[in-house]
Amino acid sequence: MIKKPRSDGAARPPAPQRSYRYYELLMAGFVTVYLCSNLLGPAKAVQMQLPLVGTVTFGAAVLFFPLSYIFGDILTEVYGYAKARRVIWAGFGAMSFAAFMAWAVVQLPPAPGWPHQQAYEVAFGNAWRIVLASLVAYFCGEFANSFVLARMKLMTRGRHLWARTIGSTVVGEGIDSALFYPLAFWNSGIIPNDLVPQLMLSQWIAKTLVEVAFTPVTYKVVGFLKRTEREDWYDRDTDFTPFRL
């Protein structure tokens, strides 16, 4: 690091980095939710009877993946876009390694007599097309979510948190669903093409409703963190490029 000279000729010491009590904990929570929702949730289809709706079938990850967007909202609202960007990249790196490790472990020859290879392949043997679609959708959706929330915070001057969290989720989850399902399943033979738009719409709505349901919790967590960390970041001079740490 090049130190700027002071007027008296001496080197100016670098500004100390602000430390936070809960930032690393939120990063760990974000990455954990993202990994679990992608590695554990997709392997199981759930069917439930809902009032006024009837029988609904969906992937188990729908119940948990939106929590990563809630974490993203909280991080951006309290610590700012730049801090949220580091967490998004941490999740991207963790999922990339987890996908590679799952592929490598599935490919390893099982010991003679070990009876669970087929079950292991079903649970963790995702096709690379689906893995790449998930990573692309995650990258674009999470950064769109964080960017929209940061810009809306400036436009609203910090008011109407509910509008920022829900509005950013509508955009982020919409981009995520619009990218993932065509990239993963269009002309794949797994899901008929005419069902792909229905899946996109239903997953987008379901994930957004999870965000709405958790809005009271988001308010409490954001309020607690702002008081405890003594931080309420406004991204007035932020470089919003996603390609830096």
Domain assignment present for residue 77? The answer is yes
9 in a structural domain? no
DSSP state of 45: E
Q: Is the pLDDT of residue 131 over 80?
A: yes
Average pLDDT, the chain: 89
For residue range 54-98, what is the model confidence (pLDDT) as tens digits? 887 767 777 888 999 999 999 999 999 999 999 999 999 999 999
Q: Which of 206, 165, 198 is nearest to 60 (CA)?
A: 206
Domain range enclosing 69: 23-106+118-229
The predicted model gives 201-218 an average pLDDT of: 92
The answer to whether position 199 is within a domain reads yes
**Domain tally, the chain:** 1
In a domain, 243, yes or no: no
Is 63 part of a structural domain of the chain?
Answer: yes
Which of the pair, 233 or 42, is modelled with greater confidence? 233
Measured between its terminal Cα atoms, the distance across the chain in Å is 16
Residue 112, in any domain of the structure: no
Q: Tell me if 217 sits within 8 A of 61, measured CB to CB.
A: no
Domain-located, residue 237: no
CATH of the domain at 100: 1.10.1760
Residue 52: Cβ-neighbour burial (10 angstroms; 0-12, 13-18, 19+): exposed
* Helix (H) or strand (E) run with residue 47 in it: strand 45-50
Query: Looking at the domain assignment, is residue 54 inside a domain?
Result: yes
Q: What is the predicted pLDDT for the residue at 11?
A: 52
